[in-house]
Structure 1
Amino acid sequence: MTATAEQRRARILEVVRERGSIRVVELAERVGSAQVTVRRDVAALAESGLLHRSHGVVSPVRGGSPLTPATGRDRTIGMLVPTGGPYFDEVIDGALAAVTSAGARLLLGVTSYESADDRPQVEQLLDAGLDGILLTPNWRPGDASDDATWIRELPVPALLVERIAPPDSAVAQLDSVGSDHAHGVLLALRHLLALGHESVLLVAREDTWTAHQVRAGYTEGVRLLGMEPRPVIDVQRPGQESRRVAAAVANAVAHDGVRAVLVHNDQEALQLTPMLRAHGLRTPDDLALISYDDVFAALAAPPLTAVAPPRRAVGAAAVELMLRRLAAGPDLPVHHVRLLPELKIRTSCGGRGSDKTG
């Protein structure tokens, strides 16, 4: 009777445990399967962190049983994030939960939104003795990394969190885990289009990486959905321009017939809605509004429909991938993981569309 893949892989792990290390050719003989089949099994087991392979030799995962996924026991993971705030607080919470579950330790560094602050913080974390580090570099929106070579040259594995390196970057071959913000914007636009809004305003900040991704997602989303694009209403001084932004939105409503707006982020959306009332615009009666981030959106009056990036899941997935990297080493293919945001439907999307009410 032919063994199933599960039975065959269990036998491979058993042999590797007994031998300590073994060439794939000999392993295939011991398992009684074709070399090409065993090589595929070994690749799958290595990717899952269950064993290590290098130059045709298979060996147990260092520091753990080859029969169970690699844990983080005795591992120390560093994490560098921009200035603390609700968004990255949840990313940190997810990472901490995953580290604790794996029996590892998390060390945290926090920087300002200045790229020059990243390296000193990383060096301080490295002095504490790290096995790997999760990095959210302070790259300027749109330019990714003018000087990222130092990240590539770190003495421990590095993984990018909520950042995407361009293909020609020095860090393009690093693992990364983040939210797919373009997908999040597309969810919002598709929902508003289904409510009859064929044109949607975007109100967005300019000073963060996420803001840049939201802007790019808007440009691509309106193109894909065949919607009418509108000039972005810029928030140049976050938290200080609600009256100016409200006037710009009201002008678009009055002269262009727009009845829907996507706002990045929650803070701007919460400050904007009462300012719109001064222009006779109430949400949801006169204007459908979606916020991007969903940190505070549910607490608004009325509660705001919002795009919710999977912040905690990003932190947890980053830790899990780092532990797999530490277990498998260079045999694990580079992973660029993008987790999809959700759209949380609440009260604020009842505004009138182009020809029907949502």
Structure 2
Amino acid sequence: MTASAQERRTRILDAVREAGSIRVVELAERLGVPTVTVRRDVAALADDGKLERTHGSVSLPADATGWWPAGRGRVIGMLVPGVGGYFDEVVAGASAAATAAGARVILGIAPYGADSGREQVDRLLESDVGGLLLAPDWTPGRGLRGSEWLAGLPVPAVLVERRAEPATPAAQLDAVCSNHRHGVLVALRRLAELGHGSVLLAARSDTRTAHEVRAGYTAAVQQLGLAEPPVIDVDSSPRGYQDLAERIAEAARSGIRAALVHNDQDAMQLPALLRAHGLRVPEDVALVAYDDVYAALSDPPLTAVAPPKRAVGAEALGLLLRRLGAGDELPVHQTELLPTLKVRRSCGGPV
């Protein structure tokens, strides 16, 4: 039975009240209604003063009692391990979602290994933030263990590209992450479809992404029935890149002619260095990068696994606003978003 316009509009208002702010496309998906119909209903509700529209998103206006949606006027603190790379797009996604909801994000930076996450969070709290998006330092092999203070924060918090150990108090925090293990599987499946029976992995070991990429590699080669050569540890230095190119060249001479490299910055060094060994990308070596921050700017452009970085930031911001609006009535959400593979020239054709 088709819902009436009044029923649809009631459901739209209920969904916006729950979310605080929501994109029209997402609203249509949630309600199972064509986007064009939702846009028409949203326009009618906006004309009646029941909704506000901003750049493809909708939110509730202030009513006569002065009530505002969860995001209106909020200041959200966001902790990241650095800028100028992966987390730039995560921050951009969160900031855009905050703006659409009438909120704003302020940033704190706690670099890997500096052990300054708690100090930076304290500074954000001094700015009277209403909630926190947190990507604190993550130690390989330990995860977020040792970060019990995360469970005692005075405001709601959402972990971003992080997941607390199950047995720790911080495991009760909301979290939004990329599923990097799925990203590795997608990359290796593509290379297997091209005829590669073995794929080298060259990866860092100092971040959560690197840890998940390595774990995903072991699982993917087993699932796809590929051979599993030893993982190459990446040393991001001029000498380290030369050594990496030599290792890949040796593997190519032995018949392993495909490599997945974490991350873009490291993968971009390889085409020129491999040419010194008489090898071309992709004619002699198929190359896939992980992160897709700079991969399209390489020569040749690199096929890359693209974690949904902006979407992670936006989803985390939206989840935090829902938490601010609903409090403990909202169940703990721990969400994983799936990376995609951006196919460019560097992985070549069938072998």
Q: TM-score, normalised by structure 1?
A: 0.80
Q: Say which one has the larger Rg.
A: 1
Superposed CA offset, 1:194-213 (max 9, x none): 00011100010111111111
Q: In the TM superposition, what is the alpha-carbon distance from 1:148 to its structure 2 partner?
A: 1.7
Q: Which residue is 1:209 aligned to?
A: 208
**Secondary structure in structure 1 of the residue aligned to 2:341:** strand
Q: Which residue is 2:72 aligned to?
A: 73
Q: Which residue is 2:338 aligned to?
A: 340
Q: In the TM superposition, what is the alpha-carbon distance from 1:223 to its structure 2 partner?
A: 1.2
Taking a change above 3 Å as real, the CA distance of residues 261 and 128 of structure 1, as seen in their structure-2 partners, is same
Please tell me whether residue 108 in structure 1 is matched to residue 110 in structure 2.
no
Cα contact 1:49–1:328 (8 A) shared by 2: no
Q: In the TM superposition, what is the alpha-carbon distance from 1:280 to its structure 2 partner?
A: 1.4
Q: Which residue is 2:170 aligned to?
A: 171
- Within 5 Å, which residues of 2 pair with 1:233-312? 233-237=232-236, 240-255=239-254, 257-312=255-310
Cα contact 1:206–1:236 (8 A) shared by 2: no
Cα contact 1:115–1:139 (8 A) shared by 2: no
Q: What CA distance in whole angstroms lies between the structure 1 residues aligned with 2:238 and 2:331?
A: 42
Q: What CA distance in whole angstroms lies between the structure 1 residues aligned with 2:281 and 2:8?
A: 60
Q: What CA distance in whole angstroms lies between the structure 2 residues aligned with 1:239 and 1:329?
A: 51
Q: Which deviates more, 169-178 or 262-271?
A: 169-178
Residue 335 of structure 1 aligns to which amino acid in structure 2? H
Q: What CA distance in whole angstroms lies between the structure 1 residues aligned with 2:347 and 2:87?
A: 27
Q: What CA distance in whole angstroms lies between the structure 1 residues aligned with 2:236 and 2:287?
A: 21
Q: Which residue is 2:184 aligned to?
A: 185
- Within 5 Å, which residues of 2 pair with 1:344-355? 344-350=342-348
Cα contact 2:304–2:343 (8 A) shared by 1: yes
Instruction: Please list every run of 5 or more consecutive structure 1 residues that lacks an aligned counterpart in the other structure.
Output: 14-41, 51-61, 352-356
**Structure 1 vs Structure 2: percent identity of aligned residues?**
56
Residue 194 of structure 1 aligns to which amino acid in structure 2? E
The 4+ residue runs of structure 1 with deviation greater than 6 A are: none
Taking a change above 3 Å as real, the CA distance of residues 141 and 238 of structure 1, as seen in their structure-2 partners, is farther
Superposed CA offset, 1:109-129 (max 9, x none): 011112621000000110110
**Number of positions where the alignment pairs a residue of Structure 1 with one of Structure 2:** 312
Residue 346 of structure 2 aligns to which amino acid in structure 1? S
Q: Which deviates more, 208-217 or 164-173?
A: 164-173
Q: What CA distance in whole angstroms lies between the structure 2 residues aligned with 1:320 and 1:238?
A: 39
Q: TM-score, normalised by structure 2?
A: 0.81
Q: In the TM superposition, what is the alpha-carbon distance from 1:301 to its structure 2 partner?
A: 1.0
Q: Which deviates more, 106-115 or 304-313?
A: 106-115
- How well do the aligned residues superpose, as a CA RMSD in angstroms? 2.9
